[in-house]
A and B are shown apart, each in its own frame.
Chain A
Amino acid sequence: LSVPPEIPKEDGRPKWDNKFQYILSCIGFAVGLGNVWRFPYLCQIHGGGAFLIPYFIALLFEGIPLLYLELALGQCLRKGSISAWNTISPYLGGVGVGSWMVSVLVSLYYNTVLTWVMWYFINSFQEPLPWSVCPLNENRTGLNKECYESTAVNYFWYRKTLNITPDVTESGTLQWWLILCLATCWAIVYLCTIRGIETTGKAIYVTAIFPYLVLTIFLIQGLTLPGATDGLAYLFTPNLSTLKNPRVWLDAATQIFFSLSLAFGGLIAFSSYNPPKNDCEKDAVTVAIVNSLTSLYASIPVFSVLGFKATTGYWDCLDRNIISIINEFDLPEESIMRQNYTTWISFLNSSYPEKIAGLKLKSCDFQEFLDQSVSGTGLAFIIFTQAIILMPGSQAWAILFFIMLFSLGLSSMFGNIEGVFTPLLELRIISKSIPKELLSGIICLISFLIALCFTLGSGSYWIDIFDRYAGSLPLLVIAFFEVIGVVYVYKIKRFSEDVKQMTGRKLNLYWQITWRFISPLLLLIVFVAFVILQIQKSPSYAAWNPKYEGFPMKEEKVYPPWVLAICVLLAILPCVFVPLVALFQLIKRTRRSKEPSFVPPEVFSCQGAN
């Protein structure tokens, strides 16, 4: 007789090389472009330091509980989002499908934002930076008209990068340079996700840690720039009266929610590769706190640079006025300096008012320069690039800045792609013989082909639409059903037992209260407020139209009905799967229960899966 070979206890599921890789991946997924270009903007418009109060309240009662829920769920069930929710309850399978759908939609447009970052990156190697000078017009008599009327930075962004059309209905042509960059970005994503977490786990060491290095460098550089302290004072001076505005609380809740990348299914996928006995409670708290601290840390260099830009803009305005006055009155150079400008102006205004009026001097108000607040792509591609031109050694700063943005976005893309990839791997539709490399290649290729429509002239309008409708409302719905599903369908007592198996501790009071009552209630309130705010004003967008009378101001336009239909479709499509799948399962059950040989399925338990 002979002994048979040892049957392996593992289920062949890939796992993280070490715990640090897993934590870094979650942090990289959560820390994204929004930490850099949305949080500082919100701080600025909602009363500076006072915004931190609703922000931390939202973190405590909404962010951390939901994050812990997703991580614990993935770790317990050891499956991607679709299979996990199917296992919890077949009626809740739609939640998994919905989050998979959202991950698909977001991956499509998020990588196009990275395309723009890559385009700016490869243009940063030119001397002088291409967005610092206006090109000449056709007959070389002067500067290009569109560029002259706005600024060189605006011209490079709207014309040379996007080649934007004046209206969302005009599609324009495919921009070949953007197609090249898009192909490169998808190639990079493919390279990093080619074998799932085996490859992203290695890539995340670079993409998650590098942004912190660059932020530190920018912090040191930013604090040495003139005007940095004004910018920082402006950012952090608390204005507690803004807390009376409910809009502030709504913005805080949505910011925390989207910043932590909840309800994408990516976090469930990440934690499903964990060993069963892992303290996911500590992980959740760690990831949430690191994400918020990163937002705060990133806002310091951002606002130093914005303060610097406001100061230089103010000084430029003053200098231009001074030159006009000196030339007009033939005063010696350096007789009027910035410091005594106001005294001189008042003196001249009283003595020669007509001459001063004839000069058409612009009023230079420092506060006005500081108040120019922008969020999103405008902050990175217009404001920051303008500030970079003014710094010494601007090429190095540009290269560093855009690599940092690229790493931030790429690590978030890993989470999005994992949210798409892992459920597909587990679905029985895909046969086991297809190698992982081929599957990820097919996903990246199909996404690239679909994302080609974002490289059209009207592409950036469409990305705004996707961001506003697909990447916001469905997530709230899915998260709400996630909490309700685990707490009331799966029953929190059972989940508490499962969590005790994994972490060794029972669910304490904080988790019980937030999961049972506070988080679902908060989500419901945020959802309703969100919908009301969207419905109140008819959706409009700001178009860049050189033929507009108010150019270079953007033209406010309303979406035509067919575009509105697409917006509604994008918002509803992921959510509709939740009731659809539930209905489908109900019909299947009632039909099967009519058969005599029907045996009700076993009650699933988390421990049984291990």
Chain B
Amino acid sequence: MLRVLLLTLSVVAIADAELCKPDAQNAFKVRLSIKTALGDNAYTWDANEEYLFKAVMAFAMRKYSRKSTTQISNVLLCNVTDRVSFWFVVTDSSKNGTTVPGSEVEAAIRMNWNRINSAFLLSDKTLQFLKITSTLSPPVEPSTPVWLIVFGVVLCLIVAAIVFLVVAGIQQRKKKNKESSERENLEEKGEVTVTVENGIPCEVLDLKAGHVNGVFAADDERFTSL
């Protein structure tokens, strides 16, 4: 009895080894970069984590095909390295010894990528399925480009300042014109005059309040001094 059991187990194991090996048909290589993603909070990859992986893959297959036939034992892992990377296949329980086609597995993974990532606290970059590329998310574009808004603000400030300066300049000029025209009016009224005699302004002749006649003042020289 025991011998039959052992024989069956070894047959199964050999069959598994046939199905899951590097570059086997419908096998995928998975690479995890736990230390890069989590740093000090990194967990070690052990048998429990492998069990979780099998469970998550079974979950993904069930969700995709909507048949509740995929069991954890259908997911086979092999060649686990220290990197942490390994190969896996999903066997078909209905047909013995065959694996689920790679396209189905890929579709299941794409559908549930987020759930798979979050189960391991990883992201697209740190949990890689080497044959499956993730689609790039489009960059977030705001409705109005930010630079136009900033540009509008800057331009408004500058135009306002220019208008202010020009208006201030015009007002100053009007004030100056008014002042100079007021001074002209005062001059016309005769309060500020330049008296002119024979075309010569009086100041030039240096008259002392008009009482001294400069022509006769020079006659003092005629008299000799005593």
Residues of A bordering B, CB below 8 Å: 1-5, 119, 122-123, 125-126, 133, 135-136, 140-143, 180-181, 184, 187-188, 190-191, 194-195, 199, 326-327, 330-334, 435, 437
Report which of B165, B209, B210 forms a contact with A191, defined as CB distance below 8 A.
B165
Also in contact, A327 and B83, with CB within 8 A (given A1-B207, A435-B169):
yes
B166 contacts A331, CB within 8 Å?
Answer: no
Q: Which residues 174-195 of B sit at the A interface, judged by CB distance below 8 A?
A: 191-195
Q: How many residues of B are counted as interface, with CB atoms below 8 angstroms from the partner's CB atoms? A: 38
What residue in chain A is nearest B208 (Cβ atoms)?
Answer: A1
Given the complex of chains A and B, what is the CA–CA distance between A133 and B137 in angstroms?
13
Asked whether B31 is an interface residue with its Cβ less than 8 Å from the other chain, the reply is yes
Chain A residues whose C-beta falls within 8 Å of the C-beta of B195 in the assembled complex: 1-2
The answer to whether A194 and B166 touch (CB under 8 A), given A135-B139, A136-B139, A142-B136, is: yes
A334, B161: Cα distance in complex, Å? 59
The answer to whether B83 touches A333 (Cβ under 8 A) is yes
Given A4-B194, A140-B138, A330-B82: A126 and B162 interface contact (C-beta under 8 Å): no
B36 at the interface (CB under 8 A from A): yes
Whether A330 contacts B158 by the Cβ 8 Å rule is no
Q: Mark B16-40, 1 if CB is under 8 A from A, else 0.
A: 0000000000000001011110000
A332: chain B residues within 8 A (beta carbon) = 82-84
State the 3 A-B residue pairs at the shortest beta-carbon distance, nearest first.
A330-B81, A332-B82, A330-B83
Further contacts, 17 of them, CB under 8 A, given A187-B158, A190-B162, A194-B162: A1-B207, A2-B195, A4-B192, A125-B146, A126-B146, A136-B136, A136-B138, A136-B139, A194-B169, A327-B31, A330-B85, A331-B82, A331-B83, A332-B82, A332-B83, A435-B173, A437-B165
- Report whether A1 and B169 are in contact in the complex, using a CB–CB cutoff of 8 Å: no
Are B35's CB and A334's CB within 8 A?
Answer: yes
Which A residues are CB-close (under 8 A) to B5? none
Known: A1-B209, A2-B192, A4-B203. A184 touches B136 (CB 8 A): no
30 contacts between A and B (CB under 8 A): A1-B203, A2-B192, A3-B203, A4-B194, A4-B203, A122-B147, A123-B147, A125-B146, A125-B150, A133-B139, A140-B138, A141-B136, A181-B151, A184-B151, A184-B154, A187-B162, A194-B162, A327-B83, A327-B85, A330-B81, A330-B85, A332-B83, A332-B84, A333-B33, A333-B35, A333-B83, A334-B35, A435-B173, A437-B165, A437-B166
Contact of A184 among B33, B82, B155 (CB under 8 A): B155
Q: Are A326 and B136 in contact (CB under 8 A)?
A: no
Which residues of chain B are within 8 angstroms of A136 by Cβ–Cβ distance?
136, 138-139
Interface hub of A140, A191, A326 (most chain B Cβ within 10 A): A191
A327 to B31, CA, bound (A): 8
Chain A proximity of B179: nearest CB distance (Å)? 13
Instruction: Kindly list chain B residues whose C-beta atoms are within 8 Å of the C-beta of A334.
Output: 35
Residues 141-157 of chain B, each 1 if its beta carbon lies under 8 Å from chain A, else 0: 00000110011001100
Residues in B with CB closer than 8 Å to A4 are 192, 194, 201, 203
Chain B, Cβ-Cβ closest to A332: B82
A187 touching B159, Cβ below 8 Å? yes
Q: Is B202 an interface residue (CB 8 A)?
A: yes
- In the bound complex, residues from chain A placing their C-beta under 8 Å from that of B85 are 327, 330
Cα(A5)–Cα(B162), bound, Å:
37
Task: Chain B residues near A125: list those with CB within 8 A.
Answer: 146-147, 150
With A1-B195, A332-B82, A435-B173: A194-B147 Cβ-Cβ less than 8 Å:
no
- Assuming the contacts A330-B81, A330-B83, asked whether A180 and B151 have C-beta atoms less than 8 A apart, the reply is yes
Give every chain B residue within 8 A of A195 (Cβ-Cβ).
Answer: 165, 169
CB distance from A162 to the nearest CB of B (A): 16
Q: Cβ of B139 and Cβ of A122 under 8 Å apart? A: no
Q: Which residues of B contact A140 (CB under 8 A)?
A: 136, 138
Q: Chain A: which residue is nearest B35 at the CB level? A: A333
CB pair B146 A199 closer than 8 Å: no
Interface residues of B (CB under 8 A from A): 31, 33-36, 81-85, 136, 138-139, 146-147, 150-151, 154-155, 158-159, 161-162, 165-166, 169, 173, 191-195, 201-203, 207, 209-210
Main secondary structure of the interface of A (DSSP, over half): loop
Q: How far is the CA of A331 from the CA of B84 in the complex (A)?
A: 8
Complex Cα gap A143–B136 (Å): 9
Chain A residues closer than 8 Å to B36, beta-carbon distance:
333
In the complex, what residues of A have CB within 8 A of residue B33's CB? 333
CB-defined contacts of A437 to chain B, threshold 8 Å: 165-166, 169
**A180 CA / B147 CA spacing, docked (Å):** 12
A177 nearest CB neighbor, chain B only = B147
Least Cβ–Cβ distance between B156 and chain A, in angstroms: 11
Least distance between B2 CB and chain A CB atoms (Å): 38
- Assess the B83–A326 pair: CB atoms within 8 A: yes
**CB atoms of B150 and A122 under 8 A apart:** yes
Q: How far is the CB of B172 from chain A (nearest CB, A)?
A: 10
Task: Give the complex CA separation of A331 and B33 in angstroms.
Answer: 11
| A199 and B161 alpha carbons, distance in the complex (Å) | 12
* Nearest CB in chain B: distance from A421 CB, A: 16
Residue of A nearest to B155 (CB): A184
Contacting residues, chain A, for B207 (C-beta < 8 A): 1
Distance of B78 from chain A, by nearest CB (Å): 13
Q: In the complex, how many angstroms separate the beta carbon of B177 from the nearest chain A beta carbon?
A: 12
Which of the listed residues B81, B136, B147, B210 has the most CB atoms from chain A within 10 Å of its own CB?
B147
Closest A residue to B195 by beta carbon equals A1
Cα A367 to Cα B173 with chains together (Å): 64
| B-chain residues with CB within 8 Å of residue A187 when the two chains form the complex | 155, 158-159, 162
> How distant is the Cα of A191 from the Cα of B35 in the complex, in angstroms?
57
Assembled-state Cα–Cα distance A133/B138 (Å):
12
CB contact between A126 and one of B84, B147, B155 (< 8 Å): that residue: B147
Provide the residues of chain B in CB contact with A188, threshold 8 Å.
Answer: 158
A126, A327, A333, most chain B CB atoms within 10 A: A333
User: How far does the Cβ of B43 sit from chain A's closest Cβ, in whole Å?
Assistant: 13
CB distance from A400 to the nearest CB of B (A): 15
Residue of A nearest to B194 (CB): A4
A135 to B31, CA, bound (A): 28
Nearest chain B CB to A111 CB, angstrom units: 14
Write out the residue numbers on chain B whose beta carbons fall within 8 Å of the beta carbon of A191.
158, 161-162, 165
Complex-state Cα separation, A5 to B82, whole angstroms: 101
B193 touches A2 (CB 8 A): yes
Give every chain A residue within 8 A of B35 (Cβ-Cβ): 333-334
| Complexed CA–CA distance, A140 and B159 (Å) | 41
Residues of chain A with a CB closer than 8 A to B147's CB: 119, 122-123, 125-126
Taken together as a complex, chains A and B put the C-alpha atoms of A181 and B154 apart, in Å, by: 10
- The residue of chain A having its C-beta at the shortest distance from the C-beta of B191 within the complex is A2
What residues of chain A lie closer than 8 Å to B158, measured between beta carbons? 184, 187-188, 191
Complex Cα spacing A123 to B146, Å: 7
Residues of A within 8 A of B192 (CB): 2, 4-5
Interface centre among A5, A330, A332 (most CB of B within 10 A): A330
A21 → chain B, closest Cβ, in Å? 18
When C-beta atoms are compared, the residue in chain B nearest to A326 turns out to be B83
Q: Given the complex of chains A and B, what is the CA–CA distance between A501 and B52 in angstroms?
A: 94
Residues of B close to A3: CB separation below 8 A: 203
Cβ contacts under 8 Å, B154 to chain A: 122, 184
Contacts of B201 in A (CB 8 A): 4
Q: Please measure, in the bound complex, the distance between the C-alpha atom of A524 and the C-alpha atom of B34, giving whole angstroms.
A: 68
Bound-state CA distance A125–B147 (Å) is: 7
- Which residue on chain A has the smallest CB distance to residue B209? A1
Q: How far is the CA of A180 from the CA of B35 in the complex (A)?
A: 49
From residue A325, how far is it (CB to closest CB) to chain B in Å?
A: 11
